[in-house]
Amino acid sequence: MKLVGISGSLAGWKTNVAVHNALEAVKSFDATVQTELIDLRDYEVEFVNGDPLAYYNEDTFKVVNKVLNADFLVIGTPIYQASISGVLKNLLDHLPVDAFNRKVTGMVTTGEIEKHFLVSEYQLKPILSYLKGLVPSSNIFIHNDSFSDENELFDDQVLERLNAFAKEMVSLQQSIEQRK
């Protein structure tokens, strides 16, 4: 199984670190899972303008196809204005409506306002569900205070939650694969 992580931040590194930790947690449950982390700052994904995918630049084509070829995904975003980042929303706008059919799509968010832990449920989950993704019951919100100044995750409770999240992702995706 191929697991693709997306880091939807062009600014800092917390989202990247959070998604990386989620991918590592998944691998600790199932060492056969192949992982790839797509950090959107590494690609020039063009704004959606209504053209078919083939009309966009190579990076846009590459990233969209990496997402479409994944078996399951961890989707990470910093919380911006009580919602997801624009760069992540733009990538999601490129996808066909059945992009996540038979795929588990886990959500990882980082933010500085504790009360925004439910933003992924209200802002990201409806988009993933619309694209036919199966969203696990557990999701990960990581407050900025759980990161060290070097952007390392040092909060044991967060690491425990990441393990539970990873376990659920693997078992849900395995049960989908068994029904293929």
Ligand X SMILES: Cc1cc2nc3c(=O)[nH]c(=O)nc-3n(C[C@H](O)[C@H](O)[C@H](O)COP(=O)(O)O)c2cc1C
Q: Can you give the binding site for ligand X, defined by CB under 6 A? A: 9, 11-15, 78-82, 110-113, 116, 144
Whose CB is nearest to ligand X?
12
User: What is each CA distance from 75 to 18, 56, 113, 122, 178, in whole angstroms?
Assistant: 10, 22, 20, 15, 23
Task: Let me know if 17 is exposed, middle or buried by CB neighbors in 10 A (0-12, 13-18, 19+).
Answer: buried
Task: For the CB of residue 17, give the shortest distance to ligand X in the complex, in Å.
Answer: 8
Which residue do the tokens 């409770």 mark? 157
Closer CB to ligand X, 37 or 68, in the complex:
37
Task: For the CB of residue 11, give the shortest distance to ligand X in the complex, in Å.
Answer: 4
Task: For the CB of residue 171, give the shortest distance to ligand X in the complex, in Å.
Answer: 28
The beta strands (E) that lie in 54-139 are given as 72-78, 105-111
Task: For the CB of residue 133, give the shortest distance to ligand X in the complex, in Å.
Answer: 22
To 10 degrees, the CA torsion angle through 44, 48, 50, 54? 30
Closer CB to ligand X, 14 or 103, in the complex:
14
Closer CB to ligand X, 11 or 159, in the complex:
11
Closer CB to ligand X, 90 or 144, in the complex:
144
In terms of residues, how long is the chain? 180
Residue 176 phi/psi, 5-degree rounding, is -65, -45
CA distance 39 to 100: 19
Task: For the CB of residue 23, give the shortest distance to ligand X in the complex, in Å.
Answer: 15
Closer CB to ligand X, 82 or 159, in the complex:
82
